[in-house]
Amino acid sequence: MSRHHINYLKFNTSKFTVTATIFFPVLIETALSSFYNVVDMMMVGKYDADGLSAIGLTSNPLSIFLAIFQAINVGTTTLVAWNIGAKKKKDAQDVVKISLLMNLVSGLIMTVFGILMAHPIVNFMGGDENVMRLAIDYYNILVMGTTFQALTYSVTAAMRGAGFSKVPMIYNTFSNLLNVLGNYILIYGKFGFEPMGVIGAGYSTLISRIICCFWALGYIFFSKASDITLRHKYGKFTFRWYRVTQMLRIGIPTAVENLIMQCGSMLYVKIVNSISKTAFSAHQICSTINGLTSAPGTALGVTANTVIGQYIGANEFDNAKKYKSYLCKISLVFSVIMGVVISAFARQIVGLYAQDSEKELITLAIPIFYILAVQYITGNINGVIMGALRAAGDTQFALYLNSLSFFFFRIPLAYFLGITLKLGLTGVWLSLIAHSWLNFIVISIRYKSGKWLEIYKKVNANDLKTDALPQ
């Protein structure tokens, strides 16, 4: 048995140990990834402002590509957790193989499509001639790594579903460190290389993703540390179409949800932009900090998805509910600590991004930190409850709730408070608290209704019938 392994289905191993084994690797991985993204942008921006704009032009199209893989990955994590919980090692391993195959095919298709559509996509995003030229070159480089990125996502999703979050943390952290080193060498032209600016950043990202992919594939094919790695032989691989439909039925709503949220975020940014240029700069600072501090919420959601998914797979529904309550308490502790820290050091944090002379920007940004401190409480708990719902395959509810509440509640409220009532940036961000509380109330009602467990039982019963049919 692997030294990474913990039996999540017994409380003789402390709940804290179970949680820490999954939570802290995901927390470290997510926080470092966000941090490296900030460093990446800073390094390019220091070399060339046009290069920074080129990255901005390509970020949304590339994010849309990744949403396709997310549909597969969310389903992979949930199905692996179910089968590990039910002690169906072969079925869990078959899910991994199907996930790798689906992301391989999807990655190749998206690579070809992305290369053929590079000019139309970048032209649609707009920009001056030099920025668009750089954006097309940068975009084409990153698109070449789409398949490698997709395969890495499959391995990461499977490992998290099995509770081995430490492994993805290691290879993803190494990849990010390698990317930063590559940026230093290729952007600025060190160790005999010519300075390449944003193009160098693209090649650095591509190389680091390829190496990360081979590391992840090497683990999943040759390691015996996990029960789901392919070196274990549980019998002949059986490709069942119902596994594909099951995976997509769980994952597609989450992918669509993120796509809709990205579109909504563009409207949100447009509202902020209409206030003032300084307000937009303050908004960018606060959004960056919010991205960094959202790592605990993300890690708690992954932990809930994994452990609760395994309990559900073992039909231990009472333990699933107990563990959800336990995670909510941990979430509350983290939220209070984070809120106190960013409130106490708001001025110092803003000072990392703004000069002392930029008093208007500082004045606009500081109140947002207090808003974030309050929002952490419901925001992180929402992540836990949503993780529990996704663990049961109840992903359509999250799609409907987040999409509808964002478009028909948060955006109109942001406009009303920020523009109509002239509360400015503070009014726009106050809509975040209201939106978070609304979601908290609605998902709490959904959780208490028990419909999320009924969805799992219904889906599992239907799939058992399908599995019994001749293939």
pLDDT in tens, 277-318: 788 778 877 887 887 788 888 889 989 988 999 899 888 999
CA pair distance 457, 394, nearest whole angstrom: 11
What's the pLDDT score for residue 12? Answer: 44
CA pair distance 70, 395, nearest whole angstrom: 13
What's the pLDDT score for residue 398? Answer: 85
Q: Output the average pLDDT for the chain.
A: 84
What is the pLDDT confidence band of residue 8, given thresholds at 50, 70 and 90?
very low
Residue with tokens 């590559």: 182
End-to-end CA distance of the chain: 33
Determine the average pLDDT of the residues in 423-450.
94
pLDDT at 431 over 50: yes
Main-chain dihedrals φ then ψ at residue 316, nearest 5 degrees: -100, 70
What's the pLDDT score for residue 349? Answer: 84
Query: CA torsion sign, 116 to 114 to 209 to 205?
Result: positive
Task: State the amino acid at position 471 in one-letter form.
Answer: Q
CA pair distance 137, 376, nearest whole angstrom: 39
97-154 pLDDT per residue, tens? 999 999 999 999 999 998 998 888 878 766 677 878 888 999 899 999 999 999 999 9
Give domain limits for the chain: 13-239, 260-471
142-188 pLDDT per residue, tens? 999 999 999 999 999 999 888 888 889 999 999 989 999 999 999 99
Task: State the amino acid at position 432 in one-letter form.
Answer: L
Count of residues for the chain?
A: 471
Q: Taking each helix axis from N to C terminus, what angle separates 146-162 and 198-222, rounded to the nearest 10 degrees?
A: 40
pLDDT above 70 covers a percentage of the chain that reads: 91
CA pair distance 355, 361, nearest whole angstrom: 9
What is the pLDDT confidence band of residue 56, given thresholds at 50, 70 and 90?
low
What is the pLDDT confidence band of residue 426, given thresholds at 50, 70 and 90?
very high
pLDDT above 90 covers a percentage of the chain that reads: 37
What is the pLDDT confidence band of residue 465, given thresholds at 50, 70 and 90?
low
pLDDT at 402 over 80: yes
Determine the average pLDDT of the residues in 436-450.
94
Contact 164, 310 (CB under 8 A): no
What's the pLDDT score for residue 277? Answer: 72
Task: State the amino acid at position 90 in one-letter form.
Answer: K
210-257 pLDDT per residue, tens? 999 999 999 998 887 777 877 777 777 777 888 888 888 888 888 888
Contact 384, 328 (CB under 8 A): yes
25-37 pLDDT per residue, tens? 888 888 888 777 7
Q: What is the pTM of this model?
A: 0.78
pLDDT at 469 over 70: no
What's the pLDDT score for residue 288? Answer: 76
378, HSE (Cβ side, Cα atoms, 13 Å):
17
Task: State the amino acid at position 8 in one-letter form.
Answer: Y
Instruction: Give Dmax over CA atoms of the chain in angstroms.
Output: 73
pLDDT at 389 over 80: yes
Q: Look at 6-20, 35-49, 200-214, 247-261 and tell me which has the smallest mean pLDDT.
A: 6-20
- For the chain, the C-alpha Rg in angstroms (whole number) is 22
- Tokens for 247, please give them: 């995976």
Tell me the H-state helices in 189-240: 198-222
* Nearest CA among 309, 289, 271, 285 for reference residue 453: 309
* Nearest CA among 251, 261, 246 for reference residue 95: 246
Burial class (CB in 10 A: 0-12, 13-18, 19+), 444: middle
188-197 LR contacts (CB < 8 Å, sep 24+): 188/47, 195/47, 197/44, 197/47, 197/48, 197/51, 197/134
CA distances from 212 to 34, 59, 156, 216, 232 (A): 17, 21, 11, 6, 22
What's the pLDDT score for residue 340? Answer: 93
What's the pLDDT score for residue 268? Answer: 79
Q: Look at 13-22, 246-255, 407-416 and tell me which has the smallest mean pLDDT.
A: 13-22
